Structure 1
């Protein structure tokens, strides 16, 4: 059976200053949601760009360096755990993407946004479902965001080794849920997320 390849994406924008933006970290119980925006240089193509989740860690790390070296502009931004709890994860994700695009050293003429929702902003934009495997600039953004967030969760593991952050990156795995049950929560857990909120209620802290 041949490997599935999505239909190519045909954009309404054909210029050279289009930015791709993507976020990583909507599903985890802990850590910030991280977004990146990238304007690629047509004169400096990057081989191997793909959905960051489908790449090996080593390949992501290599592309992380190459993207930053070759892109016309890039910016990595975030929304904090406190912001996630205050405005909800969807709005926090849109906020992180907005910050990433606004932080670009070169302001884009057009933005391709991964997913089906576009932040409220001043940029002409298109939402692209599965954009991280269809638009090179979004693929690049997904790689920058994922490598950044993964590195941060590895550092968090060093601070809280009982939770296994280096392995599950904050996602609600059985190991993570068991650690929350045994050790409680850290300041880096999202208190508005179900398993964390439930544990806080058990401890009469919510």
Structure 2
């Protein structure tokens, strides 16, 4: 093997690399640098296989529906039940039958960097995405459970294509479309996980925008949850127009 370590690295970590004979020859290379590259490559391949296995495990509900002749499946999830301020946001996502987005999972289990990357990839691959936003005052009027259901319904109706089957995270929604409710669905279904990520990043961005208008509560960092900075902001400045007035401890400042 006469290639430099840099040349080997470039070829080995090319996403299209599949030359088994070349890889076998690399294993005969005695250079320490090559051995380290092989170790890194094998770890990368193992991680990719784990992600693929996870993706396949999280496709079982979709595959069962496809086997029954369903063409379009929407996964639906919501975020923002717990915050003291801001809306509850739901997303509905229809992925292609042959899509393969590795790394999909409950958005709470993902780093910000990973969520942002998946947010873009989901948008690039999805057949349709719907968003439902129910603001703070409607949450106060309806209660958070009913507001979450409403956000999911709005997201479903916002889809450019009407799905034939709906997978919903831990709830049922008001629709005539056949649906299946899955406890912890965002960790069990790729469609719901995709919806979880879209809803989370979308809502986080809304709260960052709100931070510029109401800068005393740390909305850009806490998304409206009751962190120390947020609670101190309430004590010092009182409530702002997007606070949920029926939520403790906000209601003591109303």
Q: TM-score normalised to the size of structure 2?
A: 0.73
What is the Cα deviation at residue 9 of structure 1? 7.6
1:33-78: CA deviation from partner (whole Å, max 9, x where unpaired): 0000001112332111111111111111111111111111111121
CA RMSD of aligned residues (A): 1.6
Match of 2:138 in 1: 83
Q: Contact conserved, 2:59 with 2:190, CA < 8 A, in 1?
A: no
Match of 1:13 in 2: 65
1:105-139: CA deviation from partner (whole Å, max 9, x where unpaired): 11111101001x20122111111011101100000
Match of 2:178 in 1: 124
Q: 2: CA distance between counterparts of 1:45 and 1:124?
A: 24
Q: Say whether residues 1:195 and 2:249 are aligned partners.
A: yes
Match of 2:105 in 1: 50
Name which structure has the greater RCO, CA cutoff 8 Å, separation 6+.
Answer: 1
1:69-104: CA deviation from partner (whole Å, max 9, x where unpaired): 111111112111111011111000000000101111
What is the Cα deviation at residue 149 of structure 1? 0.6
Match of 1:163 in 2: 217
- Structure 1 unaligned segments of length 5 or more: list them: 201-206
Structure 1: which 4+ aligned runs deviate by more than 6 Å?
none
Q: 1: CA distance between counterparts of 2:246 and 2:218?
A: 21
**Aligned residues between the structures:** 194
Give the one of 111, 115, 119 matched to 1:64.
119
Match of 1:32 in 2: 87
Comparing 66-75 with 88-97, greater Cα deviation is found at 66-75
Q: TM-score normalised to the size of structure 1?
A: 0.89
Give the one of 89, 100, 105 matched to 2:155.
100
The structure whose residues are more often helix, as a share, is 2
In terms of Rg, which structure is larger? 2
